[in-house]
Chain A
């Protein structure tokens, strides 16, 4: 058999709309058109006008990289700079302008963001921003770098693994082997909670999921015919709460299906299992108070996968005092470990995954797989407008073609996978499966603040 190493092919997928400049350069009226700024700027922001060579053209703002050279060199002090108002207005909460901008670039180039100079952001933040991943000074998964000949695996399984196997006297396996499905990356695309989805978006995203050998989650009848037939097993139909399980007809070859947790979930699970014993069964559960107990219950009813839902900010949905996904997932993981049933259920976490670093962090906190939701739409140059409606979309998402969407998302997933490899490489891990629940390989803000600053006045745990 020919060995083929898994990798995601990436190519540049240009923007469809005018870029949002991070910086805006303003040339005042006292400019004497001396052309000095053209020489100063090595990025080509300042150019002479093509119609009238005596004049300077308007600055090409989106090329500006904030180096201040033209400003300092202009003999007339005619140039000023400001942070672009559109850029500034972008984003809210966890989804900062920088994060949105980063997703756009990742989707366009497929590359890991690399910059000079050190870290420039805040010291720490809530949720995942309050944790750091560990590294090792000498242990390495491979000796020739993460992109070398050896292979760091990012594949994960969805499904339940029996805690032990039983054999009869004749040596025949008697344990029922539950269905299991393997993905090449620990993320899936979920469109069920998106505000506005076109058919092209569904088709494009579904193809991207297939492309990287992942899964695509959507409401059962919503996938366009053509895309559904291409996808077969990679399409995961998601049924709403109260759906009549008896009436469910799974798409041909469905490897997995998701029901939504409601009052009749126990019977639903039983019925589904008897109808489709070879299909991985997931239940969608809103994270909230005691979610860990509910998931332990799911294990008892032989549900294979729990898809735990958080809100956009990565907070619990059903709770008066919502916890961050970071804390909620840790509680779930610990509860399952305490009951010795951790491997009998797979945890998918969705909501609040806004950047590549959130993938390994979510896994460390105890999830097996994360979902791309809002990030998948941002990859299509969505600006996350509060007034989102396809009609007035500044990114013209309404007419984005499916193949462009497919390529943008493939790039995003490629860039995120490569960043996951960086983190795994630094930790000395050879496969992402080993990252799950590795709480000891992360550094949590609360813990280090206490350890390092408790003897300082006003420090954590002091006075």
Chain B
């Protein structure tokens, strides 16, 4: 256990306000003004949120800016526009547009909350609906039994850091928050998106990962915070990129398409991408599955030894998905020399994958974590392994739940993209790629994402999450996030969040 809590909460980045005009389009409510309106301007003088506006010299009042409206609950206020309008022209109700955003896993509330945290860096209250999805199972059915907060939370007194190397030998790497960014290849996302993630990783002294599409030069200044991934396709894997990194990640499988290798549909394989991957432009790239040099656990060890010979200083991470025998795979990886065992569950993100694979192949991460955690403990090697979970961890609370189930920390992907304004529309794979300029290499679309702006937003999100963990730990009477690991006794499984702790 860490003694020096103070030191571990020192020098963390400050939040800065990074608003985005183009994320302001969304609100839960719509305000409609009917034709009977006589443009008297009464509503404009009443609503303190600035929904109604009348411009001097214009005959008609402007259309309502419903992004600012607080909704029907406003009716208790004396200024409620609907009740005051002399011609009964106004109505306020839920927005259809809002209802078209999101899905059961990433609800519209969750997307909006993530945007708000990325904008302000302020934490979401732990009982806010944006913390949990509506998928009806897994993390969405697990809740913390939280006692009321006594006194104030002092984040400087709470340690959220984790060690990435728990073995006796090798470099010690400690990251101040229990997460790092998962692999997203150049090709599946734009260079600017990668850069934004790398900048945020540097700020938080944590990591992001190259994914399997090679190591773009513009990430070299951030090399201490970029993990080099070696995936089955070996696209763009070079000696230099292995030597430059502090962590090497072997990707055996990816949760969203376990056992299927990688997909990059031809449109997205632009000349830039192809150069990096040493492939022919505009051909579909399928990264085969599995590693052609690995037929057994012994081969797997050879594999790690080979990487170790090229870069003896780097830590080894092994990323696997979640088959029935995931615990054996984890133990095998440890004996082969892995420092980090990274489990990637089926419900996570991806640039392109067959729908049949996402839902149906391999188990959700929620099941795999306790399985592996308990098995490693039984083998007596739990304290030598850093167990990281990914694949469908969307919020700070998901991360905390994963830790309570037995992981040391988590790897984050989609939440980074949502911070960059992803709406989860699922079009990343098609044609020119993401219409919002995140998961694309289209020369026009990719300019929609500015790397510095993006870095600020991701950094704000991490900051907000850290404050959420701090409050959670404080309420549980803990000062260090490692105390939370494996505490399934703090969780309750059910449909609704328990109102109060049961003790």
Per-residue B-contact encoding for A410-449, CB less than 8 Å = 1, 0 else? 0000000001001101111000000000001101000011
CB-CB < 8 A to A41: which residues of B?
435
Interface presence of A320 (CB below 8 A): no
Q: Is the CB of A135 within 8 A of B362?
A: yes
Q: Are B25 and A71 interface neighbours, CB within 8 A?
A: yes
Give the residues in chain B near A139, CB-CB below 8 Å. Answer: 290
**Docked complex Cα distance between A112 and B291 (Å):** 24
Docked-complex contact B362 and A134, CB < 8 angstroms = yes
Are B434 and A120 in touch, CB under 8 angstroms?
Answer: no
Any A CB within 8 A of the CB of B335: no
Q: Which B residue sits closest to A447, measured CB to CB?
A: B367
A117/B323 in contact, CB under 8 A: no
Point out the residues of chain A lying under 8 angstroms from B187, CB to CB.
none
- When each residue 290-325 of chain B gets 1 if its CB lies under 8 Å from chain A and 0 otherwise, what string results? 111011100110000000000000000000110110
| B358 interfacial by beta-carbon distance below 8 Å | yes
Contact B252 A72, beta carbon cutoff 8 Å: no
Q: Does A124 lie within 8 Å of B137, measured CB to CB?
A: yes
Which residues of A lie under 8 Å from residue B358 when comparing CB positions?
118-119
In the complex, are the beta carbons of B104 and A122 less than 8 A apart? yes
Are the C-beta atoms of A117 and B361 separated by less than 8 Å? no
A391 interface contact, C-beta 8 A:
no
Whether B167 is near chain A, meaning CB under 8 Å from some CB there, is no
Over the window 134-152 of chain A, the binary record of Cβ atoms lying under 8 Å from chain B Cβ atoms (1 yes, 0 no) is 1111111001110000000
CB atoms of B356 and A423 under 8 A apart: yes
Q: Is A121 an interface residue (CB 8 A)?
A: yes
How many residues belonging to B are interface residues under a CB distance threshold of 8 Å?
Answer: 104
**B324 with A81: CB separation less than 8 A:** no
Contact of B429 among A30, A116, A140 (CB under 8 A): A116
| Chain A residues, Cβ within 8 Å of B414 | 117-118
How long is the Cα–Cα vector from A112 to B363 in the complex, in angstroms? Answer: 21
How distant is the Cα of A132 from the Cα of B492 in the complex, in angstroms?
A: 24
Whether A69 pairs with B435 at a CB distance below 8 angstroms is yes
Which residues of B sit under 8 angstroms from A115, Cβ to Cβ? 352-353, 355, 426-430
Determine whether the beta carbon of A67 is less than 8 Å from that of B259.
no
A72-B23, A113-B355, A452-B370 given; A134·B323 CB < 8 A: yes
Q: Write out, one digit per residue, whether chain B residues 247-266 have a CB within 8 A of any chain A CB (1) or not (0).
A: 00000110010111101010
Q: A115-B352, A116-B430 known; A30 and B63 CB under 8 Å?
A: yes
State the Cβ distance, A350 to closest chain B Cβ, in Å: 21
How many whole Å from B170's CB to the nearest CB in chain A? 24
| B83: Cβ under 8 A from any A Cβ | no
Q: Verify B290–A132 contact, CB threshold 8 A.
A: no
B269 to chain A, nearest CB (A): 15
Please provide the chain A residues from 202 to 220 with a CB less than 8 Å away from any CB of chain B in the complex: none
Complex contacts, A6 vs chain B, CB 8 Å: none
Tell me, yes or no, whether B96 is within 8 Å of chain A by CB.
yes
In the complex, whether A66 has a CB less than 8 A from a CB of chain B is: yes
Which residues in chain A, 63-80, are within 8 Å of chain B measured between CB atoms? Answer: 65-69, 71-73, 76-78, 80
Q: Mark A179-214, 1 if CB is under 8 A from B, else 0.
A: 000000000000000000000000000000000000
Identify the stretch in B7-15, B342-350, B378-386, B453-461 within 8 Å (CB) of chain A at 4 or more residues: B342-350
A399 contacts partner chain B, Cβ-Cβ < 8 Å: no
User: With the chains together, A427 CA to B260 CA distance in Å?
Assistant: 10
Q: Once the chains bind, are B491 and A68 in contact (CB under 8 Å)? A: no
Q: Which residues of B contact A452 (CB under 8 A)?
A: 366-371, 405
Tell me, in angstroms, the Cα distance from A163 to B362 when the chains sit together.
34
Chain B positions 427 through 450: 1 when the CB is less than 8 Å from some CB of chain A, otherwise 0:
111111011100100000100000
Q: Which residues of B contact A453 (CB under 8 A)?
A: 370, 493
Q: Residue A238 at the B interface, CB < 8 A?
A: no
Would A135 and B370 be within 8 Å (CB), given that A66-B100, A81-B100, A113-B355 are in contact?
no
Contact B488 A456 (CB under 8 A): yes
Does A53 interact with chain B (Cβ within 8 Å)?
no
Would B354 and A419 count as touching, CB distance under 8 A? yes
Say yes or no: A144 contacts B491, CB within 8 Å. Answer: no
| A51 on the B face (CB < 8 A) | no
Q: Given that A118-B392, A123-B137 are known contacts, is A426 also in contact with B100, CB under 8 Å in the complex?
A: no
Residues of chain B with a CB closer than 8 A to A78's CB = 63
The listed residue with most A CB atoms (<10 A of its CB), out of B25, B141, B320, B445, is B25
Candidates A71, A112, A136; contact of B323 at CB < 8 Å: A136
| A135, B321: Cα distance in complex, Å | 9
Q: A123-B138, A422-B354 are in contact. Are A133 and B360 (CB under 8 A)?
A: yes
With A116-B427, A145-B288, A455-B488 as known contacts, state yes or no: A83 contacts B100, CB within 8 Å.
yes
Q: Does A337 contact B (CB under 8 A)?
A: no
Residues of B within 8 A of A135 (CB): 253, 258-259, 321, 323, 361-362
User: Provided the pairs A116-B426, A122-B136 are in contact, do residues A72 and B359 lie with their beta carbons within 8 angstroms?
Assistant: no
Say yes or no for B49: interface residue by CB 8 A criterion: no
Check A42–B435 contact: CB distance below 8 A: yes
Give every chain B residue within 8 A of A441 (Cβ-Cβ): 324
Q: Assess whether A67 is in contact with B492, with CB atoms less than 8 Å apart.
A: no
A117 touches B350 (CB 8 A): yes
Given known A67-B427, A118-B414, contact A138–B296 (CB-CB < 8 A): yes
Given contacts A119-B347, A426-B357, contact A456 B492 (CB under 8 A): yes
Answer yes or no: A28 CB below 8 A from chain B CBs.
yes
Chain B residues lying within 8 Å of A451, measured Cβ to Cβ, are 367, 371
Which of these, A42, A137, A422, A449, contacts B445 with CB under 8 Å? A42
| B267 to A: closest C-beta gap in Å | 12
- Report the minimum CB–CB distance from B190 to chain A (whole Å): 13
Which residue of chain A is the closest to B347 with respect to CB atoms? A119
The answer to whether the Cβ of A102 comes within 8 Å of any Cβ in the partner chain is yes
**B140 in the interface (beta carbon within 8 A):** yes
Asked if A104 is at the interface of the complex by the 8 Å CB criterion, the answer is no
> In the complex the two chains form, is B259's CB within 8 Å of A136's CB?
yes
- Cβ of B203 within 8 Å of any chain A Cβ, yes or no, is no
B331 within 8 A of A: no
B143 to A, closest residue via Cβ: A458
Chain A residue with minimal CB distance to B290? A138
Contact A145 B261 (CB under 8 A): yes
Residue of B nearest to A359 (CB): B356
Contact between chains at B99 and A28 (CB < 8 Å):
no
Q: Specify the chain B residue showing the minimal Cβ separation from A358.
A: B360
Chain B residue at minimum C-beta to C-beta distance from A144: B288
Contact of B135 (CB < 8 Å), options: A69, A121, A459? A121
The interface residues of chain B lying within 8 Å CB-to-CB of A460 are 493
Q: Among residues 264 to 279 in chain A, which have CB atoms less than 8 Å away from a CB atom of chain B? A: none
Instruction: From A66, A123, A143, give the contact of B425 (CB < 8 A).
Output: A66
Does the CB pair B99–A43 fall under 8 Å? no
A30 to B364, CA, bound (A): 47
A69 close to B356 (CB less than 8 A): no
Return A385 CB to nearest CB of chain B, in Å. Answer: 25
A residues less than 8 Å from B324 (CB atoms): 134, 440-441, 443
Chain A residues 82 to 117 lying within 8 A of chain B, measured CB to CB, are 82-83, 102, 112-117
Please give, as numbers and ranges, the residues of chain A lying within 8 Å of B18 by CB-CB distance. none
* C-alpha gap A457/B357 in the complex (Å): 31
Residue of B nearest to A441 (CB): B324
Chain B residues positioned under 8 Å from A66 (CB to CB): 100, 423, 425-427
Q: A28-B63, A119-B358, A452-B367 given as contacts; is B294 within 8 A of A138 (CB)?
A: yes
Chain B residues lying within 8 Å of A425, measured Cβ to Cβ, are 259-260, 289
B283 at the interface (CB under 8 A from A): no
Chain A interfacial positions (CB closer than 8 Å to B): 23, 28, 30, 41-43, 65-69, 71-73, 76-78, 80-83, 102, 112-124, 132-140, 143-145, 356-357, 360-361, 419, 422-423, 425-428, 440-441, 443, 448-449, 451-453, 455-460, 462
Q: A138-B291, A459-B493 are known; give 11 further A-B pairs, CB within 8 A.
A: A42-B435, A77-B63, A114-B265, A115-B428, A117-B425, A123-B141, A135-B253, A137-B253, A138-B290, A356-B356, A440-B324
Can you list 12 A-B pairs with a CB-CB distance of less than 8 A?
A42-B432, A65-B427, A67-B423, A68-B26, A115-B429, A132-B363, A138-B252, A140-B289, A423-B361, A425-B260, A440-B324, A452-B405
Query: Which 10 residue pairs across A and B have the least CB separation, nearest first?
Result: A123-B137, A116-B428, A426-B259, A82-B96, A135-B259, A72-B25, A120-B103, A119-B358, A118-B349, A459-B493
